[in-house]
Amino acid sequence: MGQGTGTAGGGANQLRRNSLGLLAVTFMVISAAAPLTGVAGAVPIAFLIGNGTGVPATFLFMTLVMLAFAVGYVAMSRHVKNAGAFYAYAARGLGGRWAGATAFTALAAYNAMQFGLIGLLGGISAGVFGSFGINLPWWGWSLIAIALVGILGYRQVDLSAKVLIVLVALEYLIVLIVDFAILAAGGAADAGGLSVNIFDANAIFSGSLTAAILFCLGSFIGFEATTIYAEEARDPEKTIPRATYLSVLMIGLFFVFTTWLMIAGVGAENLIPTIGGLADPTEYFFMLADMYVGGPVPPIAGILLVSSLFAALSAFHNYIARYSYVAGREGLLPAAFGRTHDTHSSPHIGSVVQSIGALVVLAIFAGLGLDPVLNMFTWISQVGTLGVLGMMVVTSLAVIVFFRRQPAGEAPVMSTLVLPAVSGVIMAALFLYIFANFGDLTGTAGGGLSWILPALIPLAALVGWLAALRLEKADPASFARMGQNRA
């Protein structure tokens, strides 16, 4: 298992080269955004505690923000061919110490997303499969998911890609079936039908716009990981930029279209009373599926919701394994992490360690009898959101600094300064808001967790900074090579 020989064009301890095309990279990152999970889980809550019928416009706004970020991200991706993604950008733009901080922040953030989703999958699976008479405790379903995700992560990346393409395609299909059924019926005829004005300023600024933005933001998390596959993609100079733009547009336009029809399905005036009257807001999409399609679609949607979460788990597992691999390869973690599997050319050490960590966290929450959704998911996943926002701020700054050092005329000012600055400021504002209001957003206000959990992100960054300092003193040559191109 130790000294991987590499395959498919790779050398010793290299990832599997030329394994992923445009479709594979796009669907692997979209799977982390979990479209069906967003529609069934996040969107009804965004309607309820956010800005109601202003949610479609909020998704449109966040799509534009993500595109603004993507412009600078893509511009620099043509200069950075390294599976470290945010880490490599920080190294090339801001230097090794920032890179170390970013690498450890990534490990903390994506592990937090992974751990939270494990709880959510367990809780939802227990309900979905329980309705079919298949009864296991929630942690039993989580345990099965950890094992399956670990097996896929241990093997070659194209196997994970094939599984995720199928699962994400099915997610889109089931939601679009319901969408077009509402569209064909003309929406709720007795409540305005399809005449929902998504640009109504009164609706956009009603309720809590900030809460709506945070829920919408969560539906995009994962798209930024296209560059993680730079060393495994075919023709990365074209594949990675195209996959980045395509994933943002597929996620954003899908949610704008779907949330508009989810409002039209009951009518704008009835939206909040309808969702508020449900025992669980996440039942809303399934209610619409039953109203407009019926038959086997609602139970199938329930099963696909579980597969949606599984796809997201697999995607984040891949991210963590690759960040661990890069950190080991470049001296921030023990060298064992920087080895690839003899046969699969996979970052198998990081994959195994992540699976062990997931088992430990699962044992703690199950052993303490905590709720998998209200506690495990809500508490931990917001730590991940906070970390990703922080890394996007650092990356925006890295893009600006990197291109200021390039010869004049290297790239347009709009894509290398203006748009990265705009997106960076917006991301920084959201980071500060989540950090300051973490207790209110997660239900931990008044307790130690309200500051301990968000503090994990700056703590991880500090540990990474110190790890980079150690590397700089112990091996200046390796420190100087941090973030260099590998593809």
Q: Which CATH number fits domain 22-480: 1.20.1250.20, 1.10.20.10, 1.20.1740.10, 3.30.360.10?
A: 1.20.1740.10
Tens digits of residue pLDDT in 329-375: 888 999 888 887 777 667 888 889 999 999 999 999 999 999 898 78
What mean pLDDT, rounded, does the chain reach? 87
Single-letter residue type at 259: T
Q: Is 487's pLDDT higher than 60?
A: no
Tens digits of residue pLDDT in 156-192: 555 666 777 888 889 899 999 999 999 999 988 887 7
Mean pLDDT, residues 267-295 taken together = 90
Q: Is 472's pLDDT higher than 70?
A: yes
Q: Is 6's pLDDT higher than 80?
A: no
Residue 148: exposed, middle, or buried by beta-carbon count in 10 A (0-12, 13-18, 19+)?
middle
Mean pLDDT, residues 104-114 taken together = 94
pLDDT range class, residue 9, cuts 50, 70, 90: very low
CA distance 93 to 87: 10
CA distance 281 to 223: 26
Main-chain dihedrals φ then ψ at residue 385, nearest 5 degrees? -60, -45
Tens digits of residue pLDDT in 293-320: 988 988 999 999 998 898 889 888 888 9
Mean pLDDT, residues 405-425 taken together = 85
Contact between 325 and 340 (Cβ < 8 Å): yes
What b/e readout covers 333-355, taking b as 16+ CB neighbours within 10 angstroms? Answer: beeebbbbbeebbbbbbbbbbbb
Q: Which of 64-73, 346-355, 457-466 has the lowest mean pLDDT?
A: 346-355
Query: Residue 121 is encoded by which pair of tokens?
Result: 């999958």
Helix residue spans in 333-377 (DSSP H): 348-367
Q: Is 136's pLDDT higher than 90?
A: yes
**The model's pTM:** 0.86
Domain boundaries defined on the chain? 22-480
Query: Residue 463 is encoded by which pair of tokens?
Result: 């540990």
Residue 259, CA distances (Å) to 21, 55, 374, 439 in order: 30, 7, 24, 28
Q: What is the per-residue pLDDT for 345?
A: 67
